[in-house]
Structure 1
Amino acid sequence: MTEITESVVLVGRTLNGRPTRWEVKGDQLFTVPGSELVTQRVRTVDGTTLVRRSLPDEPDETKRLLLDNEIRALARLTHAFSATGPFPALVGYDMDSPDPWALTADWRGVPASEVVGGLLRAGLEQFAGSLFQAVAYLGMVEVAHNSLRMDTVYLDGTSPQIVTFEHAAFFGEPRDDGRGAARPDDDVLAAGKVVHEAFTGVPVVGDHVDLAEVAWLGSQLPDVFGEPGARPSAIDVVRRLAPVSVPVLDVPDELRAGRAEFDEARKRKMPPQPDTVRISPVRPPQPAPGFPACNRVLLIAGALVVIALLVFVVLGGLS
């Protein structure tokens, strides 16, 4: 079931793991550039608009893991920040059925690519501060988006919302693009590239930009485009760009249990890891122990005595 075209009942779990049913009817099916998941707005019987993320018609294990990434990341963010964060809050999910899905709150605003070109300088500067604030929310709970670009940012006025977490990972976990472990400053660099594109209208190719094109970027964000490990944190950038505020983390007690539940569900679908084989070092063959020098002398002397006696006996017999 990829696209919902009529009223259906989705059976899954709420954010806290409670089994629940949602009766929904399909609404707008829309494409998100770069996303491999199906995205559709649906309406519940009480008129609430949600966004359903699901697998395409011919799913494979790789795409299932993409959906798992999104559920895990949004679960952690929603547990920590409820509906106040700059991301679609997770409403419900189904991770284990043949047709898994996630339901989130409706995405706010419109794709940033459609509106940033109309922002004046003050609006662009406010957008920059708000985007780094959004990235700071992710960093507070150690979530790396890993695919932040203009297409994954929605804009409501100058307030951004980050969407499509299918490539997300927790800090230290392997990225799914093979570029090492997830790091917080990767999202900082990505946000800087989005801001540069907003100011210039030209997407950034690679990780280095010409800051001379925009004096404001050169004065405010030069280190954002530095080497890994030398970039500032998102919170540092937010404080630099005030007046937007730094997010305050208010994690409920259920957060740790929620994280464990999602991680355990993910492990059930991961291929088993081979048993670790411990190999003891093989020592090279040691030479047989030799006789001490003094013993060798005695042995040679004894042999000479025996030979002398034999010669004496033989000569005596001949005479």
Structure 2
Amino acid sequence: MTSTLYPQPEGPGGPPPDKLTFTLPSGRRRATQVRVGREFRRDRLLPQLIRKAVLDDDGQQCVQVRLSAKDAANPAARALLDTEAGTALHLHQLLGGTEYAALFPRIVGHELDTAEPFLLYAPPRGTPVERLHVMSATDQEHFTRDLLLALHLLDGQGLVSRGVSPATVRWDGAKAQLWGLESVTRTGAPRRPWGRAPFCAPEQRRGEGLADSRDAVWSTAQVLYQLVTGRPGPADRPPPDLAEHRKLDRTLQDAFAPRAADRPTPAQALDVVAPDTARRVRLALPADESPTDQEAFDAALRRKRQHPRADRPRQGAAAEAERGNGEVLCPYCLENIRLDLTKLFVTDSRMQYKPLNLKGINNTVRRNDIMRGAVQKCVADPAFPEHFIPVPYLTYGRPLTVAMVGQSSTGKSHLLTQMIAAITDGGLEPFGLTWQSVNPEQHAKFVRERVQPLRNGKVLDHTAALGLDDFARFVESLLLTDDRGRVRPVAFFDLGGEDLVRTDAALRFLLGVDALIFVVDPALALPLPQLHHARERWGVEVNPDGDLAFGTVLDRLPKDGGCLDVPTAVVLGKADLLRFQPPVDRWLSRPAPNSLDPDAVRAESRDVYGLLRRHAGPAWLRPFETIRRCTLHIASATGSQEDRGRYPAGAGPRRVLEPLLALLAMHGLIPVPGDRDALALGETPAIEWTPPEQAGVPDSGDPMRPTERNRSE
């Protein structure tokens, strides 16, 4: 039966029906007229509004859970609705078609990336336990079994409900149903205060430690105690009269333990209440396909480990720097350049360049300060428009050059913008790195034109397509300093791989690149139904032949021993499109790390490899298969999709820094336990960071000091 908590929609003569468009659990889109009833809040502490709805095209009755525009502007409220949707969809995919699906709400549809996001459910079954006064002993047994079974199913997916209470558990006379899916969190996530005593576990109420499936066992025991006695139990200890209720005492006595470690798990409690039920559930659930993917991933790593690391001299700008002549790659004309004190300029009060003459400036502090703000005119390519290079870029050794690879509209610009913003927000500090801008004026412009608009929810304009001669666009450069005081410039480029032509300049640039980030657009790579709507909006189709930019770049780089040997990250970008799809959901919900764990990096790589292997095909895995040291990552620059040119709750980046962390670790800028190549391969020696004094720049105690050769000039 349907609870009267969900009022009937307006009848004849009421307001006209609204138009509702949403995504079905299958990923398909549906548009229909809808009539809605009065709305209310199930819990005054939660932002969700609830009302009954009738879809006019077929009369289907639903419950709509939504956020008002005001609440939807709060990222925390959206996160709750996202959690609820993700849990409901995951359970639908896992349990759909089985008898166990009835233990949870059945999701009908969702629309989340909009100004007023919502979910649609089938009508709830039964009555909330808080409204029940009498239940037979047999019904209590069935109710207890169902509730523990629901917790066991969640626990099997690494999930725990923090919201089990008489208000969220329903009973229809035959089966229980657990609502309140917005309270679900991942097992092992930091506890946050949630719920009310006595139904939330003591640790949960205090927000201490890590979430544990046994938290929900405490809540279940408290619900049953109130159901049996008609009153709530103590908030932090077993009820004093528990022994008077023999069945409850026999089955769930330990569930009232004040500490989670002393309580049974859902499976252990279920085994006492209903032996063999957990085993029957395991047999009914679909088989896990991941072992095959894991075996293929491990086999790929073994093949790459057989290829020794390249030991031949590098070419291009890299070789010049290693030979000690102090040359670096100009980020604009992509020609080699070195510090020349006769070509320095500074800006005057009108921001016009004027020549800098260092003669007569003998004070070291003043000289270094002037040099930090100076630029050098680059004349390496006379045909290239006039351009200037900040002096710090030329005085700290060869810059670490990072190139983003992917065809246009893959989200590279948004991802790189958020990656740099994460650095300037201090994201590298837990890893022992601090930053400075190479060119403060240029950096301020980057923040003003890219970072701030994106953070304010504005969709960035697409960067213009690169021309045949403009295969690489310089984006930004920063100075990174480690905890030993060593400084390394890092330059970021947007590489239009599909526009690369076979010119010496292109090859010279690629040979000087130190790290590559290949950005995979899921709409182009994965033929999953939940991406159909995105493909329709953007006018694109699945491309089984892979990203043209990937192939163009990979084909230009020479192989050493069968493999390319430039540290590389492959990023499944726009991952918010798949934020409810395993394994994407697991990684997107993880908090930012404060240390680099090679096992976790490899686990993420294995999961992304499996997803691409199952759905995308070999062309999309070519960077991983071709490049010896390559990690795979999941990232979203915005956290959600735009709605009419804006991100409704602002752009909330997720895991944008992790690909760069892996690359910096492979270059020795970030320490990792054991061998640095363990990030990508699990063994073999890592490359070393070439100190400035070995890259043609003497270490005089102040890296800003010019070389003796330049001083004499």
Q: Distance in 1 between matches of 2:255 and 2:111?
A: 38
Q: Is the 8 A contact 2:152 2:267 kept in 1?
A: yes
Q: Which whole-Å CA distance do the structure 1 matches of 2:81 and 2:248 have between them?
A: 35
Q: Are the structure 2 counterparts of residues 126 and 23 from structure 1 closer, same or farther at C-alpha, using a change threshold of 3 Å?
A: same
Q: How many residues align?
A: 277
Larger relative contact order (CA 8 Å, sep ≥ 6): 1
1:53 equivalenced with 2:73 (yes/no): no
Partner of 2:540: none
Distance 1:30 1:243 in 2: 40
2:218 to 189, 193, 201: 189
**Equivalences for residues 300-311 of structure 1 within 5 A:** none
Amino acid at match of 2:83: N
Deviates more, 1:221-230 or 1:249-258: 249-258
Do 2:23 and 2:109's aligned partners in 1 also have CA atoms closer than 8 Å? yes
Q: 1:187 to 1:27 in 2, by over 3 A?
A: same
Corresponding residue for 1:10? 20
Please say if 1:124 is aligned against 2:124: no
Matched, 1:39 2:50: yes
Superposed displacement of residue 19, structure 1: 2.9
Say whether residues 1:167 and 2:178 are aligned partners. no
Opposite residue 81 of structure 2, the aligned amino acid is L
Write out the 4+ residue segments of structure 1 that deviate beyond 6 Å after TM superposition: 252-257, 272-280
> CA offsets per residue over residues 226-278 of structure 1, 9 Å max, x none?
22123222222222112793334524878998235654679445466897898
Tell me, yes or no, if structure 1 residue 209 matches structure 2 residue 226.
no
The residue that corresponds to 1:113 in the other structure is 130
Q: What is the CA RMSD across the aligned residues, in angstroms?
A: 3.2
Give the equivalent residue in structure 2 for 1:258.
Answer: 581
Partner amino acid, structure 2, of 1:199: V
Q: Which residue of 2 is the match for residue 91 of structure 1?
A: 108
Query: Structure 1 residue aligned with 2:166, among 127, 150, 153?
Result: 150
SS in 2 for 1:173: coil
Q: Say whether residues 1:73 and 2:90 are aligned partners.
A: no
Amino acid corresponding to residue 103 of structure 1 in structure 2: L
Deviation at 1:57, TM superposition (A): 5.6
Q: Cα deviations across residues 40-74 of structure 1 (Å, max 9, x unaligned)?
A: 11111212111111114631222111111111111
SS at match of 1:182: coil
Moved more, 219-228 or 3-12: 3-12
Q: Match of 2:70, SS? A: coil
Say if 2:69 and 2:115, in contact at 8 Å, map to a contact too. no
Secondary structure of 1:91's match?
Answer: strand
Q: How far is the alpha carbon of 1:27 from its aligned partner?
A: 3.0
Q: Name the SS for the 2:115 alignment partner.
A: coil
- Inter-CA distance 219–88: structure 2 relative to 1 (3 Å threshold): same
- Deviation at residue 218 of structure 1 after TM alignment: 1.6
2:34 matched to 1:24?
yes
Whole-angstrom CA distance in 1 between matches of 2:37 and 2:581: 30
What one-letter code is carried by the residue in structure 1 that aligns with 2:582?
Answer: R
How far did 1:207 drift?
3.4
Aligned with 1:234 (options 258, 266, 279): 266
Whichever residue aligns with residue 157 of structure 2, its letter is V
Which residue type is aligned with residue 263 of structure 2? R
User: Structure 1 counterpart of 2:109, which letter?
Assistant: G
Q: Could you tell me which amino acid in structure 1 is paired with residue 158 of structure 2?
A: E
C-alpha separation in 2, matches of 1:244 and 1:236: 11
Partner of 2:685: none
Change (3 A) 1:69 1:175: farther
Cα offset, 1:213, TM superposition:
4.2
Q: Please give the TM-score of this superposition, normalised by the length of structure 1.
A: 0.75
State the Cα deviation string for residues 6-54 of structure 1 (Å, max 9, x = none): 4222222222333332432113534423543111111112121111111
Distance change in 2, residues 1:85/1:207 (3 Å):
farther
Distance 2:60 2:264 in 1: 40
Give the residue type in structure 1 aligned to 2:581: G
Contact 1:175 1:181 in 2 (8 A): yes
Q: Compared with structure 1, are the counterparts of its residues 166 and 131 closer, same or farther at alpha carbon in structure 2 (3 Å cutoff)? A: same
Structure 1 residues 28 and 240 mapped into 2: Cα distance closer, same or farther (>3 Å)? farther
Pick closer, same or farther for the CA change 1:73–1:174 going to 2, 3 Å.
Answer: farther
After superposition, the C-alpha distances for 1:157-176 in whole angstroms (9 at most, x for unaligned) are 14111112112112223344
Taking a change above 3 Å as real, the CA distance of residues 39 and 186 of structure 1, as seen in their structure-2 partners, is same
Q: Secondary structure at the match of 1:221?
A: helix
2:124 aligned counterpart, secondary structure: coil
Q: CA deviation at 1:89?
A: 1.5
Residue 240 of structure 1 aligns to which amino acid in structure 2?
V
Report the Cα offset of residue 204 of structure 1: 2.7
Would you say the 8 A contact 1:38–1:53 is kept in 2? Answer: yes
Give the TM-score of the pair, scaled to structure 2: 0.36
Q: Distance in 1 between matches of 2:123 and 2:189?
A: 29
Selected match of 1:104 from 121, 137, 140: 121
> What SS does the aligned partner of 1:258 have?
coil
- Asked if the contact 1:73/1:169 (under 8 Å) is kept, the reply is no
| Alpha-carbon distance in structure 2 between the residues aligned to 1:119 and 1:279 | 61
1:152 Cα shift? 0.7
2:275 & 2:84 partners in 1: Cα distance? 31
Once residues 127 and 110 of structure 1 are traced to their aligned partners in structure 2, the CA distance between those partners, rounded to angstroms, is 13
Between the aligned partners of 2:579 and 2:83, the Cα distance in structure 1 is 17
The more displaced of 126-135 and 19-28 is 19-28
For residues 74 and 176 of structure 1, do their structure 2 counterparts lie closer, same or farther at Cα, with a shift above 3 Å needed? farther
Task: Supply the distance in 2 between the matched residues of 1:215 and 1:76 (Cα, whole angstroms).
Answer: 37
Counterpart contact for 2:66–2:117, Cα < 8 Å: yes
Deviations, residues 89-141 of structure 1 (Å, cap 9, x unaligned): 222111211111111121111111112x2113332233222221222222222
Map of 2:532 onto structure 1: none
Q: Counterpart of 1:113 in structure 2: which amino acid?
A: E
**Same amino acid, percent of matched pairs:** 23
Distance 1:139 1:258 in 2: 18
Structure 2, gaps ≥5 residues long: 1-8, 194-206, 290-527, 529-577, 589-634, 641-650, 672-713
Mapping of 1:284-295 within 5 angstroms?
none
Distance 1:219 1:95 in 2: 45
Q: Secondary structure at the match of 1:208?
A: coil
